[in-house]
């Protein structure tokens, strides 16, 4: 599972076995998990984060969006 960034204890990563899905990033910390589609920035799943945290995390993801889509494509050979 490639970790893309660790920011204030939040780990931004994707899972190597999820090749058939569109590019996304998981954000995990303290038993919480957020999954965001990179192309649309839509939240696919949220376990435990409040709206304020989600907006902060989506802002971090937006800063790296194009870079992380490239990492995803390189990792899966797309």
* Predicted local distance difference test score (pLDDT) of residue 10: 98
Using pLDDT thresholds of 50, 70 and 90, give the confidence band for residue 18: confident
Rounded CA separation 35/23 (Å):
10
* Predicted local distance difference test score (pLDDT) of residue 50: 98
16: number of Cβ within 10 Å: 10
Q: What is the CA radius of gyration of the chain?
A: 12
H or E element that contains 45: strand 43-47
pLDDT tens readout for residues 20-49? 889 999 999 999 999 999 999 999 999 999
Closest listed residue to residue 37, CA positions, set 25, 50, 55: 25
Residue 1 has pLDDT above 80, yes or no: no
As a whole number, mean pLDDT of residues 43-63 equals 98
Spans of all domains in the chain: 3-76
């Amino acid at each position: 599972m490639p970790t893309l960034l660790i920011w204030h204890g939040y780990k931004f990563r994707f899972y190597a076995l999820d090749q058939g899905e569109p590019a996304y990033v998981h954000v995990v910390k303290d038993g919480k998990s957020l999954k965001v589609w990179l192309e649309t920035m839509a939240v696919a799943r949220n376990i435990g984060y409040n709206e304020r945290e989600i907006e902060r995390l989506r802002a971090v993801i937006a800063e790296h969006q194009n870079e992380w889509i490239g990492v995803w494509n390189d990792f899966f050979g797309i």
